[in-house]
């Protein structure tokens, strides 16, 4: 089977997604197929590794765990049955503090923190579609990093709605309401890549 064989206007579930064996990476958002960008560029990967390492080092020996893409996050709405799950995403980085949400296939339920690093061409998917499903799923913090602009915005869930931080840039330090004591220096994150 190839991705081109599928009807992109049809609503699919995780049960369908789990059977697909084509090379392209896809995500399901509310049942619809979203093709993932081609392999991320070097800057995207450097930022991902830096953040993943910072989170891993901070969390080492603690209850929360950090995972990087590709890693399936299934966001059930009413039922955890594979046929009923219509949103499966692969965030660049996620932090899960409830070990009962982890299984051999990834994460079943809302991670505590999700990080998306924007790539040219995926901004609408990240900034609109994923924002909505992450908020609806109850993900406590949604961090959006733009390597193109060297900016960072943290959305924090408050009374069921995301509240954005100000736009942060090099010179700012990111902290987290979920990970008390964690800090990330954006000058180091956006370090010179030339």
Indicate whether 105 belongs to any domain: yes
The predicted pLDDT at position 194 comes to 47
pLDDT digits (tens, 9 = 90+) for 6-37: 888 899 999 999 888 888 888 888 998 888 76
**Are 178 and 151 within 8 A, CB to CB?**
no
Per-residue pLDDT, 121 = 67
Q: How far is CA 41 from CA 14, 45, 118, 190, 192, in A?
A: 28, 6, 11, 14, 15
Q: What is the CATH number of the domain that holds 119?
A: 3.90.1570.10
Element (H, E) at 166: none
Which sign, positive or negative, has the C-alpha torsion 49, 53, 54, 56?
positive
The domain total for the chain is 1
Using a pLDDT cut of 70, give the percent of the chain over it: 94
The reply to whether 13 falls in a domain is no
| pTM score, whole prediction | 0.90
Sign of CA dihedral 101, 107, 110, 116: positive
User: In 3D, which of 89, 154, 93 has the Cα closest to residue 125?
Assistant: 89
pLDDT in tens, 74-132: 999 989 999 999 999 999 999 999 999 999 999 999 999 999 999 876 666 567 889 99
Distance CA 101, CA 144 (A): 23
For residue 160, the enclosing domain spans: 41-189
Residue 90 is assigned to a structural domain of this protein: yes
For residue 114, being part of any structural domain is answered with: yes
Is 157 within a domain? yes
3-state secondary structure of 178: coil
Residue 107 maps to a domain: yes
Average pLDDT over residues 148-175: 96
In a 10 Å sphere around its CB, with 0-12 CB exposed, 13-18 middle and 19+ buried, how is residue 13 labelled? middle
**Residue 26 resides in a domain:** no
C-alpha 103/C-alpha 111 separation (Å) is 13
pLDDT of residue 8: 85
* Residue 21 in domain: no
């Amino acid at each position: 089977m190839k991705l081109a064989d599928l009807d992109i206007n049809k609503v699919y579930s995780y049960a369908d997604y789990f059977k697909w064996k084509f090379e392209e990476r896809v995500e399901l958002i509310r049942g619809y197929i979203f093709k993932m960008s081609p392999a991320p560029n070097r800057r995207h990967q450097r930022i991902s590794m830096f953040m993943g390492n910072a989170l891993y080092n901070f969390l080492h020996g603690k209850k929360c765990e950090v995972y990087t893409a590709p890693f399936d996050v299934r966001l059930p709405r009413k039922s955890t049955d594979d046929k009923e799950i219509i949103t499966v995403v692969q965030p660049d980085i996620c932090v899960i503090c409830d070990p009962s949400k982890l299984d051999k296939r990834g994460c079943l339920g809302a991670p505590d923190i999700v990080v998306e690093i924007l790539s040219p061409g995926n901004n609408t998917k990240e900034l609109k579609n994923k924002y909505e499903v992450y908020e609806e799923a109850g993900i406590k913090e949604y961090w959006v990093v733009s390597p193109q602009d060297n900016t960072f915005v943290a959305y924090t869930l408050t009374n069921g709605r995301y509240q954005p931080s100000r736009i942060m840039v090099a010179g700012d330090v990111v902290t987290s309401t979920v990970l008390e004591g964690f800090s990330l220096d954006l000058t180091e994150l956006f370090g010179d890549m030339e």
